Structure formats: C-alpha cells, structure tokens
Structure 1
Amino acid sequence: MKRKHYDEDHLAFGDSVRTFLQKEVVPNYLEWEEAEISPREIFTAAGKNGFLGMAVDEQYGGGGIDDFRFNQILAEEVANAGVTGTGLGITLHNDTCLPYFLTYANEEQRERWLPGIVSGDLITAVGMTEPGAGSDLAGIRTSAVRDGDHYIVNGSKTFITNGINADLVITVVRTSPDRHTGLSLLILERGQEGFERGRNLNKIGLHSQDTAELSFTDVRVPVANLLGEEGKGFLQLVKKLPQERLSIAVSALAEARAAFNNTLAYVNERKAFGKSIGSFQNSKFVLAEIATELDVAQAYVDQSVIALNAGELDAVDASKAKFYCTELQGRTIDKCLQLHGGYGYMLEYPIARAYADARVTRIYGGSSEIMKEVISRSLGI
C-alpha cells in the first residue's frame, strides 16, 4: 500500500538526516558500541544541522514547526542506518524530554535552557525510575525538601538514558508524602554539588547508548528549577507519557522494517542447495507474514502521529501502539535472525545487534504488561 504520510518537507528533512547519519555516525558506530557511549559532539553536530528541537520556537533557535512527523522520519532514518544506540539519545532528547520544557517551562526557564537544548550543548534526560520504583511512579522516594530559595534533594535513580552525557535531568521528586499530589519535577543540572553519576550500565544491547545510575546527596537545587507547579508532577508525567510511548512505537516499527528489508536482501543473495534461500516456501511465507504485519502496524502508527499532532492521542491508543509495535519488533527480528541461520548469531551482522537492541523496548517506557493493563481499563473490565 502506498504511504501518503509525508509531504515534500518531511521527505527532504529525512534525506538530510540520512546524509548526516551516513557521514557522522555510521563510520564511527561500531567504535561507539565498543566504548558503550556516544560522544557529546554528536548532539552538537545534530543541533547544527537542525535535527534537535524542531518544535521549539524560532526565537530560541528551534525549527518552529510542531509536527511529530519530523521526529518520526528521523527515527526511521536512524533505523535504516542501523545506528539505534546513538539514535536513541537523540530521539529521547527530542521526543521525550523536550515536551516537558515546551509545556511546563516558564519564560525565564525557556530563555535559559531551550537554546542549549536546540544546539545540543545541553543534553537532556528524564529521571523517573528508581531502584525500588519502576512502573509504580507513585512509589518514588527521591525527596526534595524546601529550604528557602532552594530544594534539598536526596535519593537515587537508575536505568537513566543519556545518564552520563546529560546536562539537564528532569527529575521526579517527592515534595510531600501524598502518593500522587506529592510528586514534582525539578531540573537537576550538571555540576551541582552532591549530584553524582554512577557507572555506565553494561546492557545486553544498545551499547552506544549511555544508561546510568544517578545519586543525589543534599543537592541544593534552586526553586527556579521547578518545572511547572509543585505537587503536579504525577499529572505532568501522565500527560506526556502518550508521546513517549508513541515515540517508542515509531522506533520499534522502524527497526522491525529495517530488519525485514535487510533480511529480504540476505535471503535473495544467500545460496543453499543450489538456489537462493529466499526461493524456499518457508522463507516466502515467513516474509509474507512479516510484510503484512508491518504494513498494518504502519497504518495505525501513522494515524496515531496525526492524532498526536491534533492533540487527540490518548493514553489508551498510545499504549496500543507501544504494545503492538514493540511485540511486533521482537517477533519480526527473531524470525529474521532465524532466516540468517548461524550468521544471524554473529555480532558482525546487523541482525544480531538488532536482536539484542530490541529486547528492552517491551520493558522501558511502560512494559507490555502495563500497556495491557491500561488498555484493559478502557474496556470496562
């Protein structure tokens, strides 16, 4: 089915992203995978080329276009280039972190932070997960106690994407004992005394993406760094989670399609029993199933992006997109790896890295089980 989702501006933007990735990221990607971190300079390079903060007003240096299709095509190009780990840092910066600043930052905060977010000089992260609080955000224990013009922050976070590179961390803190109205969002900044970064966590996949533990010991954070109103943190998170989950769905589907395309090329080249393995009935049927699922999922995701642009995407529909696309990513890449045979288990082949990278998408941003819980509530059961 012909896709009519993008206009000429989106396609031109995608072409620019593709050129940038091929020049700046692809030649260095395996080195960054080995180092288990991407350099900060890739953010400033992306910013220089207009790939950060597309939705930020032009007065702060942004693109001035609030259209998630630009974010979507960027994620698709990342998947096509096979640079998922590095790309995740950029998509998190644009898709997950930036919306909090755009919606909840006051004018002084916008002037202070948005230009750096757009240029890539200020890398962002979200500090939600704690050692004892993952899906249950109301269980967060990191505390922020008011002391004059400052909050005193104590606690820790874990599994924080961009955790090593981040300059601004949107940190979920507890400002009162109430489970829901006791949460607030504070921006913790690089260099604040008592703000320490732990080890860069050694993961199964996404090696070039820095994922860290953060600790806070009597960190004095100015009240001026409160994002939105005190006690509104839980509601702020709930309102922004649909876009985060759609972003994960977009990337998951793009990664699945990239794996499919690579596998289609492989089975046509690989010979067994005197002919290409793509000519075997099993290969044809497996690939036909995948092609169908990808196209059906693409239609739903594209409509979800249109709904997000119109301000109509709700938590249930976003959860459906995240649940279906991440599960589809997992089973697609598994089938594609099988068609590669023993070579698919070798890390020199992109399908092997894709297999390892894919596993976490069914966990972060809300596990598949949580997505099904959200969806089932809408059914009245």
Structure 2
Amino acid sequence: MVSPGGRRRVTVLGATGSVGRATLDLIERHPDLFEVEALVAGNDAASLAELAARTGARRAVIADPAQGPRLSSILEGSGVAASAGLSAMLDAASLPVDWTMAAISGAAGLAPTIAAVRTGGAVAFATKECLVCAGAAFMAEVGRAGATLLPVDSEHNALLQALGGQPVADVEKMTITASGGPFRQWPADRIAAARPEDALKHPTWSMGAKITIDSATLMNKGLELIEALHLFGVEAGRLDVVVHPQSVVHGLVTFRDGAVTAGLAAPDMRVPIAYALGHPHRIDAPTPRLDLVQLGSLTFEAPDPDRFPALRLAREAMEAGGAAATILNAANEVAVALFLDGRIGFMDIPRIVADALDQASRRGLSSAPATIDEAIALDGEARAIASACLLESRPRSQ
C-alpha cells in the first residue's frame, strides 16, 4: 500500500474542488500512510495556500498566473514553494510521485492528467473528459506509460469493484445509475423554465457547478457511458443507465450467466476516493455506513429521453464514434457556461450541443483524435462552433 521508503507520495490536481478536498480529508486522517508532494488549483489562491500549509505540501501551484503573486505572498516563510501558470501546473503534474489525484474539471484537466499518466504511477481520476475527449489516445498513453488508472467517479469505481477482476468478455452488460437530478419529477414545461439556481439544487451530491448542471440535464450520465466504453473496453450496446433516486447502488455488472454484482455505498465521494488511495488494499474512511433496514427500499426507473434529450445525444455520439464525443463534450461545456451566466435557457443546452454536432458533421469533422494534441485542437474548434451556434440561434428559452 505504501512505497518501500515509507509513506506514499501524492499530488492532488484540483485541490480546492470538492473531490480534491475530500481526498485531502482522507490523507490528513492517515498521516502515517501519505505525504503531500504538490497541490494544484485553478484560481483560489487563499484556499490553496491554506490547504498546502495545513497538509505540509512541498509545493502549491495556481493555474491562473494573475493569482501567482497573492499565492506567493500568503505562503511566504511557510516552507511551501509557490508557483503559477500552465507550465508550473504541468511541472507539478509530472512529478515522480506514487499516486496522483486528477480532479481538474472539464477539458482543462486533459493536459495535466496526461502529464501525470506519463510518470507511470497510479492516477486516480475524476476528470471524465480525458476519456470523453480523447478516449483511444488517452488509453494508449496509459498503456505506453504502464500507469495504473483508478476511476473515482462513484459509478465507474463501483463497476470496477463489481467486476471483481473478471474478464470483460464474461460481461453481458454494465449499468450505471443516475439520481435523476433536481428535475427528475418535473414536467417538461417547468424544466424548460428552470433557472441556474434551480438546476444547482442537487438532491444527493454536493459538487461543482458544471457537473451539477450536467446532472440536471443527465448529460453527465451520457459522458459516463462514453468514459466506461474506453475504460473497460466494452461496446456501446453493453452499456446502460438506470435512474436510482436513492444513489445507493452506483453500478451493476451483469455476467453472461445471468449473475449480477453491484457496488453499493452511501453517496459520499470519500468511498471511491478511499478505494483509489489505498489500492490494492483498503484504508479506513469516516463515511456513513449503509443501513438497508433503515433505507427500507431502493427504487429504479428508466430515464426519460424526451425530457432529458442530452442523454440521447450522448448515446448517439458514443455510437457514432470518431470525433463526435469530443465535439459533444466541448459544446456542452460552452452551453453550460452560457446557462450559468444566464444567457440561455436550460433546454438550450442540449439544443446548442445538437446544433454543434450537426455543424461539425457538415464541416467534415469526423475523425477521432489520434493524439492528445489533436484532441485539444478539436476541442477548441468545437467550442468555436458551439459559440457560433449561439449567435445563430433563436432567442433565449422562456
């Protein structure tokens, strides 16, 4: 569980986000097992400095260069080395540590996650866009580096545990669950009129704004299907989604003989993070224990493709292959940002994604990126297309 020299050295990319903070909470509870090499964050210099000083990190890196002076000022005399900017972030991700948490959201997390993979260590990742934007290229990098890839999304972590080391050839179906988000029981007209503050009220999980909106549209489940396709090497036809409001069952594996195994846990991100931190062993975690008697019942239902078209779009992109998933993800990031800024309505999110996919197809953007650089370039082109779709679109949904 730890390196021969003592404690396992770790780096956390996205330290100030919900996953990063949960990771550091577990690390601080096991000072005999882990030591922090580097913490990386986006633009919250004060929080990053506080976390770095508290955990004894050797270095702290802020991605926003404008926040560099403030970070350095706060950490002056602390013994923590401070730096800023993309180059510094990639340098930190490239440190030869034993274990890296890659939790920078969106396509921005692709380059630092790849840098961590190339060290050949264990990489726990909550950045699903790595596999959505550049699935084949990303997995090829993992293979070349001999890195160990550990999913931290609760669904994929549950699938990994439910698989139990069995060959994927013996799997008939893998199913991930969805809480259904805040609009699970809302009628279509009410969903169309939803405001950002409505969509950010997730019934189960406490997450960042972008992923919370993806949960409300069910796009997150579509992205997770694409992620599972690359991570486990299964075909699109063997992947499914079921709505499970209690968020207790996170993933199910159906085998060729009809047996089904499932990963169950309280909806606490520290459960999958603890699994990844301790892998291949287990560590103690202060997470709620399931009391099935108290729960009483667990319910399941099919997702509604009419009220939640984003999931359908993601399925279609997964089945189409090629560049579709990269374009889908980029357009979705643009549309979600526009919605959070109040510039478009909720149902304009899937509409802009659909328009961007159509425009990209008309422009002949069909080939899957063969390298990480190609994926980043395609992501940028897709964002420009999505932004243009906004300018050409009808007025904001009411």
TM range (shorter): under 0.3
What's the TM-score once normalised by structure 1's chain length?
0.27
What's the TM-score once normalised by structure 2's chain length?
0.27
